[in-house]
Amino acid sequence: MTLVDQFDPGDPRASSGGETRLYRCAHGPDVDYTAMARRARTLWRELEEESGEELLVECGLAWFAHREDGWEAESERTLAAHGIPAERLDVASAPSLYPSFRGEDLAFVLLEPEGGVIRAQRAVRALAAQAARHGARIVRSRARPDGTAAVLEDSTRLEGDLVVWACGPWLGRLFPDLVSLSVTRQELLFFDGGPAWRSPGLPGWCDYDHARYGTADIDALGVKAAIDDLGPPLDPDAELADEAPTEQQVRAYLHDRFPALEHARLIEARSCRYELTPDSHFIAAPHTEYPTVWLVGGGSGHGFKQGPPMAERLAQTFREGTPLPPRFALGERQPSTSMRTASSGPAT
């Protein structure tokens, strides 16, 4: 097997290239993504065992529900049906989760105790190292498709039984007739919350209806808080400027939810790219002309955790012809009006 990438593993210009990504199984009523995310936990644990790296921080993931019977309640039912641990906390008991918390506007908090955070960059590096250990050849080059082949910058033509183009934000540019992706600039802010926010076991969090998410201070990066509204379009090759235009909006949310953080020092603002399909569902499908060429991606802000089970499903499809969900196919997609209404749930 040959793995080609224009960057080194974990490069911040790739969509996977952040230090942390949230890990959750809640997906509203969506059984397939829920089961896939649960399977991901086992597969990430396997990678941890093989690599000796601690990749999955099982600090829990808290959903701030604004309605008794909204997306979170649907998630609760789906999680229960799959035997995935989830606890409904009343608002009065939720402050025990964090050093500072305010929840008068909430109906309840849904806690996934086995949710949490994946050390994303480290995971990608561990994965590449394990692939090499198992015999994969890793080549650094920019590739372009030519029929069934991948052509590298030095004109080397790579052919194979299968060629998989899993190219994140660049996939649409490589296959403009087949793939429609919007690439947007998203911003992550890291605040100095002090030692209280570095205690282990503080859950990651998601406020789906208000499109906000974040984590406690993991690995001394600072408390992460971000807006999940879609940012401005950004070319896949454009510089990622580390600006903080969302700072006031994020601070306003911190004031309402985690008041002790409202004036916390901003340590860093970081940009990255979402690669979004019109309906926020993934892409995993053969090229329309070349059946041995596959296009995979469209992570749409929720793809990181699902990498290992997606690879597992693809391997089964390649070996045994197991069908993939039709919603991963190429072709027209019904646009969802926003990430809030997408059936895949929020980004993260």
Residue 142 touching ligand FAD (CB under 6 A): yes
Query: Is residue 215 within the footprint of ligand FAD (CB under 6 A)?
Result: no
The stretch among 41-49, 80-88, 268-276, 338-346 that binds ligand FAD (CB under 6 A) is 268-276
Please answer whether residues 221 and 190 qualify as being in contact, where contact means their C-beta atoms are separated by less than 8 angstroms: yes
**Residue closest to ligand FAD (Cβ):** 299
| Count of C-beta atoms within a 10 Å radius of residue 121 | 19
* Identity of the residue, 116 or 193, whose beta carbon is nearer to ligand FAD in the bound complex: 116
* Interacting residue with ligand FAD among 59, 181, 188, 295 (CB under 6 A): 188
Helix (H, G, I), strand (E, B) or coil at 160: coil
Residue 119 within binding range of ligand FAD, rule CB under 6 A: no
Under rule CB under 6 A, residue 130 binds ligand FAD:
no
Among the listed residues 275, 321, 271, 272, the one whose alpha carbon sits nearest the alpha carbon of residue 165: 275
Eight-class DSSP state of 236: T
- Segments in the chain forming alpha helices (H): 31-51, 71-81, 120-133, 171-174, 247-257, 307-320
Which of 22, 56, 59, 269: binder of ligand FAD (CB under 6 A)? 22
Determine if 30 is a binding residue for ligand FAD (CB under 6 A).
Answer: no
CB of residue 76 vs ligand FAD: minimum separation in angstroms? 20
The window from 44-52, 54-62, 82-90, 162-170 that contacts ligand FAD (CB under 6 A) reads 162-170
* E runs forming strands in the chain: 2-5, 20-23, 56-57, 61-65, 87-89, 108-112, 116-119, 137-140, 144-146, 149-151, 157-158, 163-165, 182-192, 204-207, 212-217, 223-227, 265-276, 283-286, 293-297
- Shortest spacing between CB 229 and ligand FAD, in angstroms: 12
Least distance (Å) between residue 148 CB and ligand FAD = 16
Q: d(Cα 112, Cα 61) in Å, to the nearest integer?
A: 5
| Tokens at 286, concatenated | 């053969």
CB of 335 to ligand FAD, least distance (A): 18
Does residue 115 interact with ligand FAD by CB under 6 A?
A: no
Q: Does 274 bind ligand FAD (CB under 6 A)?
A: yes
- What distance in Å separates the CA atoms of residue 345 and residue 341, rounded to the nearest whole number? 7
Residues lying near ligand FAD in the complex (CB under 6 A) are found at 4-7, 14-16, 18, 21-22, 142-143, 166-170, 174, 186, 188, 272-274, 297, 299, 301-305, 348
